Amino acid sequence: MTSASRNFDVLIVGAGPAGMAAACCASENGLRVAIVDNNPQPGGQIWRGASQSSAVPEAAPWYKKLAASRAQVLSGTEAYDHPAPGKLLASSPGGVCEISYAKLILCTGARERFLPFPGWTLPNVIGAGGLQALVKSGFSIAGKKIVVAGSGPLLLAVAAYLREHGGDVRLIAEQSSWPRLIRFGLALAFQKEKLAQSFALKCQLAGIPYKAGCWPVAAEGNGRVESVTLRSGNKTWKEACDYLACGFFLVPNVELPLLLGCELRAGFVRVDDFQQTTIPEVYCAGEPTGIGGLDLSLVEGQIAGHAAAGNREAARKLFRERDRSRKFAAALGRAFSLRDELHSLPADATFICRCEDVTLARLRNHSCWRAAKLQTRCGMGSCQGRICGPAVEFLLGWKPESVRPPIYPVSVSSLAKNISIESQSSLQEELR
Amino acid sequence: MPDAISVTVNGTAVRVPLNSTALVAILMSRASSPARFVRRSLSGEPRGPLCAMGICFECRATINNQRHSRTCLILCAPGMDIRTDD
Ligand SMILES: Cc1cc2nc3c(=O)[nH]c(=O)nc-3n(C[C@H](O)[C@H](O)[C@H](O)COP(=O)(O)OP(=O)(O)OC[C@H]3O[C@@H](n4cnc5c(N)ncnc54)[C@H](O)[C@@H]3O)c2cc1C
Ligand code: FES
């Protein structure tokens, strides 16, 4: 074994709420536990950077528990290959390292779904969660006109956050219809806490128009977005903006689970009651098993952590809570499913693949992913199809092909540097 | 800016809040131009960040000589040398 390799009883990929909860529970049993995560700080999409502030009350106990546990947090570290059973390769700005594990828990989260429309590649057209993340990482949007569009409860959270930070949020355009949302609202009513949360949000939002059954059809501007064309029913109009924050609900990050050979069901990682995937000793928790928000990610993470540590009794006690949250997840999926009209969003000349600048017209000449990839390089650029893949699946019905390592590009210079995990522990000290 | 640090973007000093990502430094360095882009696409279009979470690669630039770094995933450190490709 080289100095760059290291052994853990339980290795977790992803330090969002699911991964943090898994780490806390797995290390209760005195096991050697580590989390790798490609962000600079633990917290995942919802809590990113929250360890620095007390602004997020529900995050604080988890950061405390994680710091008190003996789990090692390797931030800025990305798992990109699975060279042999029980081993992952990970890269960080310092180089690459091999990490061995007895049990693996995949908590890789989700990303926003982006749908191409004319003008979506203009600067300042950005993901809804994307703009929020940018502001969380130091960017100022004070006084800027912002239209928030797309689909999902994230739009509400983002609009509230941007307004709190001085953004002039003009409109929230939700593609789903009122009838769908009302049905979803009824499902919410069975979960009192959730209802309270959504009311609290509504209050914050007072004054920001929320339009359901409304979606962006084009973005216009010279060098950056200056306006967005919106449609609602038969009506089409332009709304001036400095930013268009736009995402169409979420898609799970299943690249690493697929690389490990985990089976999917309807696009999500298939797990048993104990969150174990179809590959023995490999568990999965949080958004990759179903988009269900914070509570579901936390409870699945805890179950996976206990189960991986062999504490099945503790895991079992959480089944009921998880099943309740899963019902919420199912309602979410139904409420925000994409309307048919969105199939005609891109024009022939619209780039579908932003990495290789491939237009819809060029893709239409092909009958499947494989042919399109060979002829156009669609999906073969840096993002490896993470952005265009879900769009192509929705627009053309092509299912993603199997994934190949490395699942993230690794630079030759970092391959040359094998680093030891010990040299990274200073990073972890800073977090405490 | 009370807790600011200084980095350079294309050789010009930029002050950013503590815990800002390199992406924020690039966007701030373009504050005077209306187009806050990060890179040019294959066909020459200006592009800015899309996901801000390490997925889309639209924010890539050279950081301390490391090419193709996703600037949305990297925190600024004092004296960091950030170069865009345009
Ligand atoms: C951009 C965005 C913003 C969001 N904002 C909110 C919000 O404000 N409020 C809300 O209620 N919900 C929000 N959500 C929904 C949110 O995803 C869930 O509520 C919750 O964060 C899910 O937790 P998780 O642990 O399952 O996944 P995540 O929080 O997504 O955590 C997964 C982590 O794994 C990392 N990762 C993935 N693959 C690898 C790899 N190969 N190597 C290393 N690390 C890896 C990711 O970078 C990430 O840090 C947001 C989602 C997105 C995509
Ligand atoms: S903005 Fe998408 S990878 Fe950085």
CA–centroid distance, residue B53 to ligand 2 (Å): 5
Ligand nearest to the CA of B50: 2
Torsion of CA A325, A292, A92, B70, to 10 degrees: -160
pLDDT-based confidence at residue A52 (cuts at 50, 70, 90): low
- Residue in the structure block whose two tokens are 């239409």: A364
Split at pLDDT 50, 70, 90, the class of A54 is: low
**Is the Cβ pair B23, A137 closer than 8 Å?**
yes
In a domain, A340, yes or no: no
- Helix axis angle, B22-29 relative to A128-136, nearest 10°? 90
* A7 and A68 belong to one structural domain: yes
**The two structure tokens encoding residue A94:** 């310092």
Looking up tokens 């983002």 gives A158
Say yes or no: A105 and A119 in one domain: no
Please enumerate residues of A whose Cβ is less than 8 A from a Cβ of B. Answer: 38-40, 45, 49, 52, 76, 78, 93, 111-112, 114, 121, 123-127, 129-131, 133-134, 137-139, 223-224, 351, 354-357, 381-383, 386-387, 409, 411, 413-414
> Above 60 in pLDDT, residue A248?
yes
pTM of the entire predicted model = 0.94
Structural tokens at position A97: 């390292």
**Strands lying side by side in the sheet with B12-17:** B12-17, B4-9, B81-83, B60-63, B66-70
Residue A148's pLDDT is: 97
Query: What is the pLDDT averaged over residues A189-218?
Result: 73
Query: Is residue A404 domain-resident?
Result: no
- Distance of alpha carbon A214 from alpha carbon A232, whole angstroms: 4
- Nearest-5° Cα angle at A104, A103 to A106: 155
Domain count of chain A? 3
Distance (Å, whole) CA A187 – CA A333: 12
- Give the integer Cα–Cα distance in Å for A252 and A265: 12
Q: Are residues A129 and A206 in the same domain?
A: yes
Interval A351-387: pLDDT, tens: 999 999 999 999 999 999 999 999 999 999 999 999 9
Residue A96, in any domain of the structure: yes
Interface confidence, given as ipTM, is 0.96
Are A280 and A389 found together in one domain?
no
Q: Is A328 in the same domain as A371? A: no
By C-alpha distance, which of A374, A369, A376, A370 is closest to A351? A376
Which of A355, A148, A127, A126 has its CA nearest to residue A225?
Answer: A126
Strand B60-63 vs strand B66-70: parallel, antiparallel, or unpaired? antiparallel
- Per domain, the residue ranges of chain B are 4-83
SS3 A68: helix
A140 within some domain:
yes
Range of the domain at A133: 114-248
Q: Is A108 in the pocket of ligand 1 (CB under 6 A)?
A: yes
Per-range mean pLDDT, top range of A203-212, A246-255, A410-419: A246-255
Q: Look at A130 and B36 and tell me if their CB atoms are within 8 Å.
A: no
Q: Which residues of B touch A354 (CB under 8 A)?
A: 41, 47, 50, 56, 58
The yes-or-no verdict on residue B55 having pLDDT over 90 is: yes
* Gap from CA of A312 to ligand 2 centroid (Å): 39
The amino acid at A206: A
3 state DSSP class of A178? helix
Best of B53, B69, B70, B73 to mutate (most A CBs within 10 Å, chain A): B53
DSSP A311-351: -HHHHHTTHHHHHHHHHHHHHHHHHTPPPGGGGG-S-TTSE
Over residues A145-195, the pLDDT tens digits come to: 999 999 998 998 899 999 999 999 999 999 999 888 877 765 665 565 665
How high does pLDDT run on average in chain A? 90
What one-character DSSP code corresponds to residue A418? B
Alpha carbon A126 to chain centroid distance?
15
Q: State residue A258's pLDDT score.
A: 97
Residues A21 and A73 in one domain: yes
Residue A202 lies in a domain: yes
Q: What is the CATH number of the domain that holds A175?
A: 3.50.50.60
Our CA angle for A381, A92, B48, nearest 5°, is 45
Residues B55, A80: Cα–Cα separation, whole Å: 13
Interface membership of B62 toward A (CB under 8 Å): no
B1 lies within 8 A of chain A by CB = no
**Are A238 and A151 members of one domain?**
yes
Of A213, A229, A248, the last residue of a domain is: A248
Q: Is there a single domain that holds both residue A274 and residue A173?
A: no
Are residues A155 and A105 both part of a single domain? no
- Asked if the structure places residue A291 within a domain, the reply is yes
A138: in domain = yes
Considering the domain architecture, whether residues A127 and A237 belong to the same structural domain is answered as: yes
Region A47-60: what's the mean pLDDT?
75
Q: What is the dihedral of CA A353, A359, A365, A367, to 10 degrees?
A: 30
Number of alpha helices (DSSP H) and beta strands (DSSP E) in chain A: 16, 21
Report pLDDT for A4: 47
Measured between CA atoms, how close is B25 to chain A, in angstroms?
A: 9
Domain boundary among A248, A269, A292: A248
| Amino acid letter, residue B5 | I
Please indicate, yes or no, if residue A182 is contained in any of the structural domains: yes
The answer to whether residues A391 and A352 touch, using CB atoms and an 8 Å cutoff, is yes
Give pLDDT tens digits for A8-22.
Answer: 999 999 999 999 999
Q: Are residues A153 and A239 in the same domain?
A: yes
End residue of a domain, out of A281, A312, A334: A334
| Chain A touched by B10 (CB under 8 Å) | no
| CATH code, residues B4-83 | 3.10.20.30
| Closest-CA residue to A34 (of A43, A23, A47, A44) | A23
- Looking at the fold, whether A91 and A137 belong to one and the same domain comes out as no
Query: Tokens 């522990």, residue?
Result: A425
Residue A92 and residue B69 in contact, taking contact as beta carbons nearer than 8 Å: no
